[in-house]
Structure 1
Amino acid sequence: MSDLQPNPRLLLSLANLRDRALAADSLNALAFSMANDLYPLLRYHQALVLAQQGEGFQLLCISGLAKPTEDSPYLIWLQRAARWIGQHVTTPQPCWLAREALEPPEEIAEGWQEWWPNGLWCVPLHDREGQRLGLLLFLLDAEPAAPLPELLGGLWQTWAYCWAALTRQHRLLRWRPSRRQVLLGLGLAALLLLVPVRQSVLAPAEVVSLQAQNISSPIDGVIASIEVRPNQEVQAGTLLLTLDETTLRNRAEVLSKEVAVADAELLSASQGAFDNPQSKSELTLLNGRAKQRRAELAAVQAQLKRTQVVAPRAGVAVFSDPNDWLGKPVATGERIMQLADPAVPAMRIQLPVADAIALEPGAQVTLFLTAYPLTPLQGEVLETSYQAKPGDDAVVSYRLLASIEGQPAHARLGLHGTAKLYGERVLLGYYLLRRPLASLRAWSGW
C-alpha cells in the first residue's frame, strides 16, 4: 500500500505551483510559471504555452527563453504546427502524441524531426464554459508514468482557472472584431446612410405679433416722458409718449413776435403809400415777409401738436425699459416702440447662414419656449428674408416669420426659445455630412 502513496515532497511541490499560479498578476507571468516550474518533475526538452486565437494560436512563452525572436524559422514553423496539433486535440483531457503514431503533413514532419523529440505531451486548458483557452506542450522522450498525470490534474485546473480570470477582463476591454464583423458593420453603416430622414435645423426664435405697427418719432426732438409701461395694453387714442416742447415753444414765441413786427411794418407802409411812392413800392415785399412769418409760425405750431404721440389703434406697447428712452434725442422716423396685437401671435426666427437649409413657405416649425419647454408651439413658415443681415448678437442670419397654430395661452409676446425648422427629406449620409462638406469646400476651395 505504501508504494501507491504519493511522495509528500511531490505534493508539497504541486501545492507551491498552485500558489504561484494564484499569485500571478498577469497572463505573461502565469505563462512563464507554466513553462518553467514543472521542469524538476518532467525533465522535458522544452515547454510551450500557446493561447487560442480563433483557429490559430499565439505563443506566450517558451521554457528557458525570456523573449523569443518572432521571425526565427522555428517560430514560423511552430505557428503551422500548433494549428495542426490544435485540430487533432479534440478532448479536454491531456493526451500523448507520438511521432510514429501520427501522419503529419510533410512540412510539419520535417520540422518535428529537426526540432522536436519523438513524443509530445499536450495539455489543453478550458474555462468553465468549456471554451479552450490554449495548449500546454511538453516535449518529452516518453509518456509520463503513473501516477504523475493523475496528480497533475489539479494543477491543470488551477492554471485554467487563473488563465480565465486574467483574460476575462482583457477580453472585455480589448475586444477586436473579426474581418467578417468589420465588413458586416461597414455594410450596415452604408445602408443606414441611405435611409431617408427629414432635414431639420435649430435656430433662436421669439414670439412676436403678426400684426404689429411701429411707433416712431414724428419729428426730431428729445423724449420727455413715456406714458405707458412695457407690454401694457392700450386703446386707440391713448397717449404713448411726449417729446420735449421747450425748443418749439421758444421758437413759436419768437415767431409770434416776428409776425407782429411784420404786420406793423406792413400797416405802416400801407398808410404811407398814399403820399410816399417809396412806401408803395415796399408793400409787396413787406406783405410777402408777413406771410412767411405766419407760415413759419404755423409750421412750429403744427410740430407742437405732434409732440404728443397717441396709439393709432388698440394693442400692446412693446419696447424696452422706459429709462433707456428718457432724455434720448431721436430723429424723425426712428422707431421707439411697437404696437402689437396679442391675439395674432407669430414666430420671428433668426436662422444663421452657417445652419441654413432649403426652406419654402409652408415648411413646418416647432418652437420650444424656454419658459414652457414641455408645451411646444407648432406653425408654418410664412415668409423668409432674401438677404442675410447681422443681428443683435453680430451673427449673420436670415429672418423668418412663421405662424402659430391655434391660440395657445402661453404664446405671450416677447418669449424666447429655440425653433426647429423642418425641410425636405434627404439621405442620412447627406444630413450628417452636409456641414463637414461645406466647411471642407470653404477651406479648400474645391
Structure 2
Amino acid sequence: MAYLNDLATEILCKIFNSVTDSVDDGIIQDPTVGGRSGGVQVMGGIPTRGVIAPTSDAYKLPELKTTILAAFTLSHVCKTWRKIVLERPAMWQRVRISYRQLLGLGKMLRNILVRSHPYPLHLDVSLLGCEWHLSGEVYTAARRQLDEFIMRCESVRVEGNHFALAALLKIFERHNLKARTKAGIKWLHVVENFRDANTNIPSGPFPLDRIAPQLICLNAQFAGASRFPSNMDRIIFEDHLFKREVYWDAFSISGAKHIVLSNVGIPRPYHRLGIMLGPLPPGFPGHTPYVSPRDKYLARTGSTLTSITFHALHDYRHERGCTIRAGDIMQHAAGQLFQEIFLKRVAATLEKVQFVNITGYTWAGFITACEHIQFDFPRVHTLRLEDVNIHFGGEDFGLLARVFPNLTQLTVKGMGYPHGVNLIRLFLGDGFVWPEMRAIEYDVFDD
C-alpha cells in the first residue's frame, strides 16, 4: 500500500468519496486522542473530540467547494489510510464544532484546526443548547480557540440563539476593526433559533460589513442582517420575518446579483396617513418636507440584480393573538412589495424571475403591481411559474406579457386548469406575444 502515498490528494479524495459512508453523524474521529483503541473520551456525556467535517456542501454554497465530500471515522479504517488522512491537510478543511466542544476541547481543537493549514477553513459551529446567559463564555472561548484561524475562514455556518450567535460573530467583528487585513469570509450561513434562546428579548440585525466585509453569499434563516457589503453575489432569506428596511438594503447597497426570498413574511403596508393628508404647509409648526420611503429607496437603488426568486411568500402575524390580515389587505401588501422590488433601475439588469408556491392573494398583488408599472423589463428572458394559485383577480396575463415582453423560456408547472392553458395559449394564439420564445415547459393539472 506504499504506492498510495504517491497518489495525488484529489485522487485519494475521490476514493474516499466513492467508498465511504457517513457514520457517527459524520464525525471525523481522531484516533490519536483517547488511547490506542481510539475510543471517544467523554466529558459530561459529551464527546470531547467529536469535531467533524460536513459530508458535503449542503448549505447552498456552489461557489466554494472542498476536495473531500465524504465524512468518515478514522478508527474505522486501517493504519495506512489513517496515516494518509492525517497527513493530507486538504481533508481537514471542513470542521464542525458544538458549543460544549468549543468550551471544553482546548488544545485538541487547535491541533485539528492546524491540520488544514495552509488550506481555507470551512467552520460549522452549532450553539444549540447554549443558554443565552452563557454568551459571554462563548465569546471568551471562541476568541481563545479561533482567533488565530480567522484569516483562513472562507465559509462559516453558525446556528443557535441570537445572543450566542452575536458572541461568536463578535470575534470576527473585533478582528476586522483592529487588523489591517480583513477576515476573508466569502460565505455566511446564519440560523437563528428562537426557541433555543429561552427569552422574549427582541434581537437586532447582524452588521455584515463588520463581520464579513468580503462576503459574497449570505443565507439567513430567522436572522436579521444589516450593513450589507457592496460586493455580494447572492442573498438567500429563509423563514424570515424581516422588516421592510432589510430588503431595501439587500436590494440597494449589497450589489447582489441573485436574491431568493423563501418562506418569508410579506411586510405590512407602510403607514399611508402622510400620503392621504399630504405635507404640512410651509411655516406650520413642526413642518418637514415629506419624502416617502419609496422615494428614499429609489434614490439609493443600484442596478446589479440579474435573478430573483419568490418562494412561499406568506402573511404573518405581527403580534401575538393578532388575526391574519384580510385578503384585500394581503393583496395590497404584496402589491406594494413587488412595486418596491420591480423598479425601473432593476429593469436594466434583471434576466430571470421565478415564482414558486405562491398564494392567490400574493399573485393578485403582483398583477396589481404590474398595472402600476409603466415600463417593461426587456432583459428578462426566463420566467418560471410553479404551484402558483391564479385566483382573486390574477388572471390578466396580458399585463404579464407587457411587463416581460422578450421571454425566451417559460415554465408553467402545477397551475390549475384553465389558467395554465390560457397562459400558454397567449403565446400560441398570437405570434406577437413573446416572439423570441424558444422553449415552453408545462405541467398543468385539471382542477
Aligning the two structures, in what range does the TM-score lie when normalised by the shorter sequence?
A: under 0.3
Q: Which has the higher strand share?
A: 1
Bigger Rg, which one: 1
Length-normalised TM-score, structure 1: 0.23
Length-normalised TM-score, structure 2: 0.23
* Larger RCO, structure (CA 8 Å, separation 6 or more): 1
